[in-house]
Structure 1
Amino acid sequence: MDTTRHGGAEQGVGDAARRLTESTANLVRQDVDRVREAVEALADRTGVSVPGGREERGNRISGLGPLLGLAAGLGVGLGRGIGVLTGVAGGPPTRTGACVAAVSAAAAALAASDGPMAALGISDPKEWEPADWAADIVPHRAYGAATAVLHGLRRSCR
């Protein structure tokens, strides 16, 4: 067995995994920084101060960030639910309907999370790299798919 050839392949896979891990960690750090900036900008613009000492305030800002994402997701889900109840959104539970529901929910979630960041001047999606878009689109597509599945389950239980 030629260990040189296999060692080179292992080295290549190891390097690729390391680069992927480093780039993913960098994207997560950037996202956390953007969310902190959003919380601080919203607090400044609304005239609400986040209380506490330096460390305590930082922890509170870090905790409020995920709540903004949760609020965006709940808002999109609520909007979709109201649309279904009023007949504006929805339709027969077909594959096409599920795909449209998934894409529309994902697009709404993207707009609900990225729109305020752009409006606050924290992030400009026009300047994003493909890796930034991929890191942003994947979780929103998962959200859209879950929304469509739940909508389909609700319709099939009638």
Structure 2
Amino acid sequence: MRAAAMVDGAIAGAVGSAALNVVTYLDMTARARAASTTPEATAGRLADVAHVDLGPEKEAANRRTGLGSMLGYVTGIAAGAAFGLLAARRRIPLPVGVTLLGGGAMAASDGSMTLLGVTDPRTWRRTDWLSDLVPHLAYGLTAAATWRRLRPSS
């Protein structure tokens, strides 16, 4: 039962990750803003901490880009799987699920980037916070709705 709930949570997290990316890309399009460099910087810092050589700079830059994108999906899927374990045997109201999923994924990504020295949320402007919060709310809503669809009695 718990393993199935974890898998369903991971699926919900993957769907939420897709929604987060769509909302992010819509924001980039609407405001004509560049993509954030924090995913690549995070991947680079993780490689440094793990003593992993990503190769010559041109190839390393491409690897950081790919790894940074994958880290977002890994975080979203892992947050969904963790939610699945938490919610396996209880009914979680949709607003609570949205908050737990969206807030959990946001805390995991922002917290890890802060710990790695990639960013400092204390220096963020209002638009920076909104650019982070709105996609994570989309993640939370979509993941929570997917969870409820996969597990109607949960």
Question: Structure 2: 5+ residue runs without aligned partners?
Answer: 1-29
Which residue of 149, 152, 156 corresponds with 2:152?
156
Structure of larger gyration radius:
1
SS of the counterpart of 2:151?
helix
Q: What amino acid maps onto 1:98 in structure 2?
A: L
Between the two proteins, what is the percent identity of the paired residues?
Answer: 31
Indicate the residue corresponding to 2:91 in structure 1.
91
Which amino acid letter does the alignment assign opposite residue 155 of structure 1?
Answer: R
Q: Do structure 1's residue 131 and structure 2's residue 141 form an aligned pair?
A: no
Pair 1:54-2:57 in alignment: yes
Does the Cα contact within 8 Å between 2:102 and 2:137 map onto a contact in 1?
yes
Report the count of equivalent residues.
125
Counterpart of 1:101 (choices 97, 102, 108) is 97
Structure 1 residue runs of 4 or more that deviate by more than 3 Å after TM superposition: none
**Scaled by the length of structure 2, what TM-score is found?**
0.74
Q: Of 55, 72, 78, which residue of structure 1 is paired with 2:75?
A: 72
Q: What amino acid does structure 2 have at the position aligned with 1:127?
A: T
TM-score (structure 1 length as normaliser): 0.72
Q: Between the two structures, name the one with larger relative contact order (CA 8 Å, sep ≥ 6).
A: 2
Partners of 2:125 and 2:57 in 1: CA distance: 33
**Aligned partners of 1:21, 1:118: CA distance in 2, in Å?**
25
Name the Cα RMSD after superposition. 1.8
Cα shift at 1:104:
1.1
Aligned AA for 1:124?
Answer: D
